Structure 1
Amino acid sequence: MPIHRFATTSAALALASAALLLTAGPSPATAAAAPATPLIIGHRGAAGLAPENTLEAVDRADRAGVDWVEVDVQRSKDGVLVLMHDQDLVRTTDARTVFPGRAPWKVGDFTYAELSRLRAGASPAWKGTGYASARIPTLGQLLDRLDRNGQGLLLEVKWPGNFPGVTQDILRTLDRKGWLDTHHIDKRLYVISFQAAALKDVHRRRPAVRLGICDETPTTGELASYARFVDVVNPDQRGLTRTYVDRAHALKGTHGRPLKLWPWTVNTAAPARTLAAWGVDGITTDVPGTIGRAVGRG
Structure 2
Amino acid sequence: MECDNMTQIFAHRGASGIHPENTMKAFKEAYKAGCDGIELDVQRTKDGVLVVIHDETVNRTTNGKGMVGKLTYKEIRSLNAGYNKRKWFTHDKVPTLDEVFEWLKGNNLLCNVELKTDKVKYPGLEEDVLQKIAQYSLSDRMILSSFNLQTLMRLHELGTSIPKAAIYSKKGVNPSLLAQTTNASAIHANHRVMTPALMESCQRMNIQVRLYTLNQPAKLKEWMEAGLAGVITDYPDRAFKVRKELLRK
Q: Compute the TM-score of the two structures, normalised by the length of structure 1.
A: 0.76
User: Offset at 1:177?
Assistant: 1.8
Q: 2:138 aligns with which of 166, 179, 185?
A: 179
Aligned to 2:46: 77
Distance in 1 of aligned mates of 2:102 and 2:4: 34
Aligned to 2:16: 47
> Secondary structure of the residue that 1:148 maps to in structure 2?
coil
Give unmatched runs, 5+ long, in structure 2.
none
Aligned to 2:229: 281
Give unmatched runs, 5+ long, in structure 1.
1-30, 97-104, 252-257
CA contact (8 A) 2:166 2:178 kept: no
> Secondary structure of the residue that 1:273 maps to in structure 2?
helix
1:230 aligns with 2:184: yes
Q: 1:190 aligns with which of 140, 143, 148?
A: 143
1:146 aligns with 2:107: no
CA contact (8 A) 1:77 1:112 kept: yes
Aligned to 1:166: 125
Aligned to 2:62: 93
CA contact (8 A) 2:175 2:202 kept: no
Distance in 1 of aligned mates of 2:100 and 2:194: 31
Deviations 1:214-253 (A, max 9, x none): 00156564413413511110001012221111111011xx
Aligned to 1:120: 81
Query: What RMSD in Å do the two structures reach over aligned CA positions?
Result: 2.1
Aligned residues: 244
> Secondary structure of the residue that 2:112 maps to in structure 1?
strand
% same residue: 27
Distance in 1 of aligned mates of 2:111 and 2:78: 26
Deviations 1:114-167 (A, max 9, x none): 11101111x3x44457x4111001001111111213211000001254311111
Aligned to 1:67: 36
Report the AA paired with residue 201 of structure 1: R
Distance in 2 of aligned mates of 1:44 and 1:176: 22
Q: Which has the larger radius of gyration?
A: 1
Aligned to 2:197: 243
Q: CA, structure 1 residues 46+206, in 2 after alignment: closer, same or farther (shift >3 Å)?
A: farther
> Secondary structure of the residue that 1:159 maps to in structure 2?
coil
Aligned to 2:241: 293
Question: After TM superposition, what 4+ stretches of structure 1 lie above 2 angstroms from structure 2?
Answer: 34-37, 125-129, 159-162, 217-222, 295-298
Structure-to-structure mapping, 1:7-22, within 5 angstroms: none
Report the AA paired with residue 43 of structure 1: H
User: Offset at 1:76?
Assistant: 0.2
> Secondary structure of the residue that 2:184 maps to in structure 1?
coil
More helix by share: 1
Report the AA paired with residue 93 of structure 1: T
> Secondary structure of the residue that 1:132 maps to in structure 2?
coil
> Secondary structure of the residue that 2:69 maps to in structure 1?
helix
Distance in 2 of aligned mates of 1:142 and 1:166: 17
Q: CA, structure 1 residues 265+225, in 2 after alignment: closer, same or farther (shift >3 Å)?
A: closer
Distance in 2 of aligned mates of 1:89 and 1:225: 31
Report the more deviating stretch, 77-86 or 242-251: 242-251
More strand by share: 2
Q: CA, structure 1 residues 218+198, in 2 after alignment: closer, same or farther (shift >3 Å)?
A: farther
Q: CA, structure 1 residues 51+250, in 2 after alignment: closer, same or farther (shift >3 Å)?
A: same
Deviations 1:251-292 (A, max 9, x none): 1xxxxxx11000000111011111112211111100001122
Report the AA paired with residue 51 of structure 1: P
CA contact (8 A) 1:72 1:84 kept: yes
Distance in 2 of aligned mates of 1:163 and 1:285: 27
> Secondary structure of the residue that 1:294 maps to in structure 2?
helix
Aligned to 1:108: 69
Distance in 1 of aligned mates of 2:190 and 2:44: 26
Q: Larger relative CO (CA 8 A, sep 6+): 1 or 2?
A: 2
CA contact (8 A) 1:265 1:284 kept: yes
> Secondary structure of the residue that 1:280 maps to in structure 2?
coil
> Secondary structure of the residue that 1:247 maps to in structure 2?
helix
Report the AA paired with residue 144 of structure 2: V
